[in-house]
Structure 1
C-alpha cells in the first residue's frame, strides 16, 4: 500500500469510492433512503473539487486502485475518511488517519474533531476520540444520527 497526497485527477475515483462505501458498508447502520441520499453527495462536483483544492487529502492505493482516503480541513477537522469495502480491517483507515493526525500535529493543532457516522464511530473511538454529543443532521430533509467527536493531541 502506498499513501500519497490527493489531487484533482483523483476526483472521479474518490467520488466512486465514497458512494460505493456508503452503499456497501453502511447498510447495517442506515436505511435505504438514508443510503441513497448520503451517497448522492457525489453529485455535488463543486464540493468535491473544493475538498481536493482546499483540504489536506491523503489517498491509499494498491496496484493503481484507490483503496481509501482521508481529508483534513483547516488543519483540525477530519471531513472524510472512507475505505473501499474490499480493504476494510486491513489497516488502511488506521494508516490514513495516523498520517492525517501527524499533519495536524505538524500544524501545532491542539485537537482533532469530526462528525462521525454510526458506522465509523467505533474506529474513531479506537483512535482515541471521544463522543462530545450525538446529533441529528438533515440531508435533503432526511434525518441522520451521527456523532460530534474530538481527540486531544499531545
Structure 2
C-alpha cells in the first residue's frame, strides 16, 4: 500500500537518489546519454531541494517506509516535480500524486495547472487532460535538452 505525506528535509538524500535513478533508467528511450548525465547531475543541489520542500506543496509517496515517488506544486498552479521510481512505474503512484496536487490546486482556487514536462512524462500529462502549448529548449552545462510546456485549464 502506498501512502502520501508531506516531504521533510530529512528526505533529501532519498529524494536525490530517486530523482537521479529515475532519469537514468526511465528516460533512456527519449534522451541521449549526455542529456541524461547533465539532467541527473542536478540532483546534487541541496539548496534547491531545501527551498522546494520549504516553499512548495511537496509530497512523497511511500511504500513500506521507502519513498517510491514524489511531486510538488509551486504557487498553487505549477507542477514543478513529478517522479516515480523506475521500479514502481505503472502501479498508479503518479496518478495518486497527481490527484493530491490537483485537490490542493482546487482547494486554493486555481483556474489552470501547468508544467514543463519531459518527453517521457508527456503521455501521462496528456492522459490527465494537459495540452502542449510550446516546446522548450534548456541548456545545462552546454547540453541542450527539450521539454514541453503543458497546460490544463478549467479542471
TM-score of the aligned structures, taking structure 2 as reference length: 0.97
Give distance in 1, aligned partners of 2:104 and 2:145: 30
Q: Once the 2 structures are TM-superposed, how far is the Cα of residue 134 of structure 1 from its aligned partner?
A: 1.2
Deviations 1:45-91 (A, max 9, x none): 11111011111111101001101001001111000000011110110
Unaligned runs of 5+ in 1: none
SS for the counterpart of 1:119 is coil
1:118 aligns with 2:119: yes
1:83-116 CA-to-partner distances (Å, cap 9, x unmatched) read: 0111101100011001001101100010011000
* 1:76-115 aligned within 5 A: 76-115=77-116
Structure 2 distance, partners of 1:141, 1:54, is 29
Cα displacement (A) at 1:148: 0.4
* 1:39 corresponding residue in structure 2: 40
Structure 2 equivalent of residue 19 of structure 1: 20
Q: Residues 53-92 of structure 1 correspond to what in structure 2 (within 5 A)?
A: 53-92=54-93
Aligned partners of 2:61, 2:50: CA distance in 1, in Å? Answer: 19
RMSD: 0.8
Identify unmatched segments of 5+ residues in structure 2. Answer: none
Q: Secondary structure at the match of 1:51?
A: helix
1:131-150 maps to which residues of 2 (within 5 A)?
Answer: 131-150=132-151
Moved over 2 A (4+): none
What TM-score, normalized to structure 1? 0.98
Aligned length: 154
